[in-house]
Amino acid sequence: MINKKNLTVYNTLKGIKEEFIPIKEDRVGMYVCGPTVYGEAHLGHARSAITFDIIYRVLRFLGYNVRYVRNFTDVGHLVADADDGDDKVEKKAQAENKEPQEVAQYYEMMYLKSTDALNCLRPNIMPIASGHIIEQIDVVKKLMDKGLAYESEGSVYFDVEKYNKEIKPYGILSHRTLEDTMENSRELSGQQEKKNPFDFALWKKAPKEHIMKWESPWSLGFPGWHLECTAMGRKYLGAEFDIHGGGMDLVFPHHDCEIAQSVGAFGDMPAKYWLHNNMITIEGKKMGKSYNNFITLTEMFNGTHPLLKQAYNPMTIRFFMLMAHYRSTLDFSNDALIAAEKGLARLMEAKAKVSTLKESNESSFDVHKIIDDALMAVCDDFNTPIMIAHLFDLCKHINSVSDGKENITKEDKEYLQQHLNAILDDILGIKDEKNSNDTGVIEGLMNLIMDMRANARNNKDYATSDKIRDALKPLGIEIKDSKEGATWRLV
């Protein structure tokens, strides 16, 4: 069996895969950058949520006591130019004639509804940026005291050059030097307040018409984007925690800025392991809000986007994502989704079949080895596609036993049942969607119909039996005949 020592993770900070050793034995602190709540969640958000859900589940499965924190960014995240734009949430609020908090809360709820449907476990703490203004101001004060930040026109900026020279190189996470950054910084408007174009805002003075603003020693204003994670991560997980995660697009500048702020203010690297999920692409390009090429989760569930051939249920989407490794880009396509849907259905049927298997004196295959291989795979930097490949291997054996072509002992069957359920339910988070509230009624009706159809078949009245089968098909009920009798299932 696997244990905690088997877990390896790819650490962006080091650029290698390494053994996972938590700071405190048996306990893990994990902070994941959540969404900016000014729009509906799309497939990209789902990938991040599912990736870290798997990581959370694997850690729990290995016996760790995990505190999982994921924030909602509801303030401080600017549109367009990084430090000189409008607040995204506020802009949306003005457009919709709503309070910023109203917009933020609406999309928070939408996000949770979607991630719940995708069977992502909720984090233990979901802090919001606007609820932690005091903590953020404290970080800015610390940086001012240390001379790593400077005030300009009521705003406060982080002095990247000074930090880079005196404290620690800037850009250690993205593996770039300040020279690279300097050469390639673009000329953006409104930078005359800053010493250097690559300095980033810690506090911004609010324009007159700005709604979201707070008192601070420098101005009536709002915190810079990178600050919230530093303040909230430290508050809920301590000076240094185990895992800091998010999408790959956050590596630079967001996470590098966080590191600089944290090291500058407190002297601590905020996290030991930095994990990043890759992007969802569509027609070869990154799916993103600003590219306007995204498909929202609601559209996926309903099949309402023009690019969708059909609706996809949340488990199909989850399974589709798990069939690729989290550090690879994953291209959206109907064909791939449909393939995932069919594969998943096959897997779930095999799972349901285990309890009905006939027991023998010996097993014709090594259940323990396949289960072990599957578990080892997910411990190797969360390699879910390999784990799933092993599950399909089991699937094949289960079907063969069911067909009488292979054998399984009572002990192996129990072991299989227990571990297959644990893998699907606890680790992969794949639940059977057929169990809805009205199955009781459907079951009663179907028992009756199946009984009548069996009578018809016994009387060789195939016209009636085919009529029943054909009429139920469009309703999503599929009937299959075999030697042992007919079965039905919801498709």
Partner RNA sequence: GGUCUCUUGACCGAGUGGCUAGGUGCCGGUCUGCAAAACCGUUUACUCCAGUUCGAAUCUGGAAGAGACCUCCA
Report, in Å, the least distance between residue 29 CB and RNA.
19
372 binds RNA (CB under 7 A): no
**Alpha carbon distance 274, 270 (integer Å):** 10
459-488 residues in contact with RNA (CB under 7 A) are 462, 465-466, 469, 478-483
Using alpha carbons, list the distances in angstroms from residue 72 to 85, 127, 153, 249, 372: 20, 6, 29, 17, 37
Scan for tokens 């097993």, then name that residue: 363
Phi, psi of 315 (to 5 degrees): -70, -35
428-447 residues in contact with RNA (CB under 7 A) are none
Which of 112, 211, 323, 442 is the binder for RNA (CB under 7 A)?
323
Instruction: Count Cα neighbours of 81 within 13 Å in the Cβ-side half-sphere.
Output: 14
18 binds RNA (CB under 7 A): no
Which of 389, 442, 449, 450 is the binder for RNA (CB under 7 A)?
389
399-428 residues in contact with RNA (CB under 7 A) are 399-400, 402-403, 405
**Alpha carbon distance 86, 253 (integer Å):** 19
Query: Considering only CA atoms, which of 228, 241, 236, 235 is closest in space to residue 268?
Result: 241
Using alpha carbons, list the distances in angstroms from residue 116 to 109, 111, 315, 468: 10, 8, 11, 37
33 binds RNA (CB under 7 A): yes
* Bridge partners of residue 162, in order along the sequence: none
Report, in Å, the least distance between residue 359 CB and RNA.
18
**Alpha carbon distance 48, 118 (integer Å):** 12
Nearer to RNA, 183 or 438 (CB): 183
Nearer to RNA, 65 or 455 (CB): 455
169-198 residues in contact with RNA (CB under 7 A) are 174-176, 180-181, 183-186, 188, 198
325-364 residues in contact with RNA (CB under 7 A) are 325, 328-331, 333, 335-336, 338-340, 342-343, 346, 349-350
Residue type, 294: F
Window contacting RNA (CB under 7 A); options: 22-30, 234-242, 318-326, 417-425: 318-326
172 with 256: CB under 8 angstroms?
yes
Which of 11, 12, 71, 73 is the binder for RNA (CB under 7 A)?
73
How many residues make contact with RNA (CB under 7 A)? 96
Nearer to RNA, 389 or 442 (CB): 389
Nearer to RNA, 142 or 457 (CB): 457
**Alpha carbon distance 457, 449 (integer Å):** 12
241-260 residues in contact with RNA (CB under 7 A) are 246-254
Q: What string marks each residue from 216 to 245 as x (binds RNA by CB under 7 A) or -?
A: ---------x--------------------
203 with 83: CB under 8 angstroms?
no
Report, in Å, the least distance between residue 405 CB and RNA.
5
Residue type, 229: C
- DSSP-H helix ranges across 41-157: 43-61, 88-96, 100-117, 133-145
Nearer to RNA, 23 or 472 (CB): 472
Nearer to RNA, 23 or 490 (CB): 490
Nearer to RNA, 169 or 267 (CB): 169
Largest CA-CA distance found in the chain, in angstroms, rounded: 92
Nearer to RNA, 133 or 395 (CB): 395
**Alpha carbon distance 245, 236 (integer Å):** 15
Report, in Å, the least distance between residue 435 CB and RNA.
19
Q: What string marks each residue from 106 to 145 as x (binds RNA by CB under 7 A) or -?
A: ----------------------------------------
Report, in Å, the least distance between residue 38 CB and RNA.
8
376 torsion bin: left (phi>0), alpha (psi -120 to 50), beta (else): alpha
Query: Considering only CA atoms, which of 342, 350, 349, 353 is closest in space to residue 320?
Result: 342
Nearer to RNA, 74 or 412 (CB): 74
Which tokens hold the place of 445? 């009706």
